[in-house]
Structure 1
């Protein structure tokens, strides 16, 4: 295994499942492109900025700057606690394997959506709908009725369906049923249901209804938002899975240059490093280790912004997620903003880190994120990167090489989760066996679920 976020998590799963796992990474840290970099001086070096951080930034060791940021959705956790819904297997695995023993999470304090010219709190309850500045009076009433319909909807109780066939009626038809306009559709689909495109509009409505319902239920239960963020940064997540793997016999080798992936008869048999070959039957790696078996599928721009103030119009929260729906800025892809701060032990006292990201659509990527950067001003320091996105052309059936996808622009965990599940299924031929994981966890940790 050559370690990005997906590889670290899969190593934990495979170790629990009895596989012998060796991690080799050319980097000196866990997590690849999703690592947390500390001290701040190293961030300046990584982005080739001259000089050192100014004294106003505080101590360099007070900073843990994520190269890629996403939040874990409480809605996801809630769903897996109450059902076996396939969408949530990763977080269920988090809980079952007890990786949460090694991590401390903090609730992200706000969830916002952009509607020209400013951001608004995402309304997800009847009360919030009526108070929201996103809509006019009559639209508020229609949206409130829509939320009541969603909250009461039960596919096993026809009385709650109001004539809707969950397997045939599209989400576009649901919006039309409640006479909801384009802007309401935008924030509902992209900020509540967390869809990346509008393709869902012409799909059967059941999945979207469940997504919206879970967002609302989770917010009602946990308060400020349905999102979690690890204290000390995202790099804690792969380290947690590294510890899990070690408990089950996994071995780690950082600062290990990969010279060659050794093949015999079209199948991987080992990895060569510093003149020695570590033999293996299967290999998991990110695209950078094996570029001849991937294809470029796009680019992502990210801007890491250091602020000395909370984002305007958020109520001065210490953390938040903002989604700028594609239609609000005449784009084909949403723009994402995730802000955390000293409250999460990732920045010096009084400082905030906001990461802006989107899929590149033009030859001037930095202009594309201007609507988001404008929300953050004044920006004390900015680190901009443009990354190529790759997808595997080899699914691993013959070669037994399983390549993860590059990170996309989203700030939530859903697409990374999908990739992990896909690789696991390709490697093993089956879905996660949670019952077996639960048994093995109890053998190791006992029955204590604390």
Structure 2
């Protein structure tokens, strides 16, 4: 492993991966590391189902009624990508779209019988966080298993201009990644000293979709 890099990125959450890709596309030499043996950090996907139970310290494990554990793949922070949102533009810019397939959500469906996963989240405002999501949980009854987690929200108090250490913010309770993209743009501006070039991103987007139309 080389000893000198332009940028060292710690963590493989979405924010860190996008920033790593942007810096690499811009010609920077990037070292990307994670303390965990899996990708994604707080936004990782967990499989099999047994690992989800372990993460929430439910030692009894999933019941047989849940089926095979490897048939489950649970996103810890499931969100939608807005078709014309910032994240799609950033993914196009970093050229990872050559490894991705996008699928349009065609509608809403009601499930009967077959098992399913639903997530209710909110920004905590009282001393009883679980009670705050009760209206949402009541809509999901009956519930076979409930996983409850409370995550602190962090944001940097230093802009990193002197230390050259740039910290990201925690994920929030919104259902898409627009606030995460705003955080990415803010970190980029603090690192590079200038705003991210969306015009360049737009040109790349036109090139990609233009090629697809031919």
Partner of 1:367: 131
Deviation at 1:26, TM superposition (A): 0.7
- Kindly state the Cα deviation for residue 434 of structure 1 after the two structures are TM-superposed: 4.8
Question: How far, CA to CA, are the matches of 2:83 and 2:199 in structure 1?
Answer: 22
CA-to-aligned-CA distance 1:39-68 (integer Å, 9 cap, x gap):
111110000002221122122111111111
Deviations 1:185-210 (A, max 9, x none): xxxxxxxxxxxxxxxxxxxxxxxxxx
Determine the structure 1 residue equivalent to 2:110: 316
1:411 aligns with 2:175: yes
Q: TM-score when scaled to structure 2?
A: 0.84
Q: Deviations over 1:369-395 (max 9, x none)?
A: 000001111112111100110110111
Kindly indicate whether residue 163 of structure 2 is the aligned counterpart of residue 399 of structure 1. yes
Cα pair distance change 1:428/1:47, threshold 3 Å: same
Computed over aligned residues only, the root mean square deviation of the Cα atoms, in angstroms, reads 2.6
5+ unaligned residues in a row in structure 2: which ranges? 1-8
Partner residue of 1:377 out of 133, 136, 141: 141
**1:27 correspondence with 2:36:** yes
The 3 A distance-change label for structure 1 pair 315 and 435 is closer
Deviations 1:70-108 (A, max 9, x none): 1111242xxxxxxxxxxx3x4212224332222233333
Residue 2 of structure 1 is matched in structure 2 by: 10
**Aligned mates of 2:198, 2:94 — CA distance in 1:** 9
> Aligned with 1:10: secondary structure?
helix
The number of residue pairs the alignment matches comes to 201
Bigger-Rg structure (1/2): 1
1:326-360 Cα offsets, whole Å, 9 max, x none, are xxxxxxxxxxxxxxxxxxxxxxx933211110011
Give, in whole Å, the separation in 2 of the partners of 1:99 and 1:385: 31
Give unmatched runs, 5+ long, in structure 1.
Answer: 77-87, 110-223, 225-313, 319-348
Distance across 1 between alignment mates of 2:72 and 2:211 = 34
Q: Whose RCO is larger (CA < 8 A, sep 6+)?
A: 1
Give the one of 99, 102, 116 matched to 2:99.
102
Identify, as 1 or 2, the structure richer in strand: 1
1:15 equivalent in alignment to 2:12: no
After TM superposition, which residue ranges in structure 1, 4 or more long, deviate above 3 angstroms?
434-441, 447-450
3-state SS of paired residue (2:166): strand
Residue of structure 1 aligned with 2:50, choices 27, 41, 44: 41
Distance 1:363 1:25 in 2: 33
Q: Secondary structure at the match of 2:92?
A: helix
Distance 1:317 1:417 in 2: 32
Q: Distance in 1 between matches of 2:200 and 2:164?
A: 24
Match of 2:59 among 44, 50, 70: 50
Separation of aligned partners in 1, 2:122 and 2:29: 38
* 1:66 partnered with 2:40: no
